[in-house]
Amino acid sequence: MSVEYKVRNPATHWRRLLLLTVLAVVVVAFFYFDLGSHLSLAALQANKDALRRDTDTHYPAAVSLFILVYCAQTALALPGAAVMTLAGGFLFGTLAGAVYVNLGATSGATLAFLAARHLLGESIRKRFGARLTALSAGFSRDSFRYLLTLRLIPLFPFFLVNLACGVTQVPLRTYVAATAIGILPGSLVYTYAGHQMGNLTSMADIASPQMLLALALLGGLPLMSIGYSRWKEKRP
């Protein structure tokens, strides 16, 4: 079941138009200036010494900038999330990196959710109407469990789930909690891999026991969701 949000006054219309314009400018600038080239594994490897040095020297500023960039990347569905997460592990360590990644990703996803709910609902329904039908049905049964499963097992694109939640009856509190919990295991796996990347001296080190463990943990994420679903079904 979806909730209809209609434009009620000219002020809302202009706010929506302004938001769309700003988003379009940012996205066009991202691709026009080829900023995505800086969010690649090759770029991270090439600049890892300078990045580590600057992070150690200006740690609070580095953390703030990292969270803000990750938030913007998630809110706008720009490419580079995986490399950003690896960079978080490399620069801040496995646990701290996962926390900063979670803050940035959850904040960005929440911004997309709020934009969909309050400003872009009608446009989203017209653009993704058919794909939103299945998601809406799942959310109507058990919002938290369904969203947690989607975060653990990305059956639908992350950004599409953000928008879908915004045009359904998923409460904001449920959305934030399920998103933060659901993306944490994957964040830990990627930041762990990124932390190990700082110790790589050659491409052969990618097959190290630590890296293989990270890949095994990533492959085990779907099993976590299945186990949670079965535990939920057995509860009275």
The boundaries of the domain holding residue 68 are 36-234
**pLDDT exceeds 60 at position 9:** no
The residue-averaged pLDDT of 22-26 equals 66
- pLDDT, tens digit, for every residue of 37-68? 667 777 888 888 899 999 999 999 999 999 99
Give me the chain's average pLDDT, please: 77
**CB-hemisphere CA count at 13 Å for 180?**
12
| 24 is a domain residue | no
Instruction: Answer yes or no: are the C-beta atoms of 119 and 12 closer than 8 Å.
Output: yes
- Kindly tell me the sign of the dihedral angle through the C-alpha atoms of 29, 31, 34, 40: positive
Residue 56: what pLDDT? 94
| 23 is a domain residue | no
In terms of Cα–Cα distance, which of 177, 111, 125 is closest to 147? 177
| 73 is a domain residue | yes
| 120 is a domain residue | yes
Instruction: Answer yes or no: are the C-beta atoms of 37 and 43 closer than 8 Å.
Output: yes
| C-alpha to C-alpha distance for 129 and 116, rounded to whole angstroms | 13
| C-alpha to C-alpha distance for 49 and 47, rounded to whole angstroms | 6
- Of residues 64 and 141, more confidence is placed in 64
Number of domains the chain is built from: 1
- Of residues 179 and 196, more confidence is placed in 179
| 78 is a domain residue | yes
| 29 is a domain residue | no
| 104 is a domain residue | yes
Q: Poorest-confidence range of 20-24, 68-72, 79-83, 160-164?
A: 20-24
- Of residues 186 and 8, more confidence is placed in 186
- pTM for the structure as a whole: 0.76
pLDDT bucket at 143, cuts 50 / 70 / 90:
confident
| 25 is a domain residue | no
Residue 82: what pLDDT? 87
- pLDDT, tens digit, for every residue of 92-112? 999 999 999 999 999 999 999
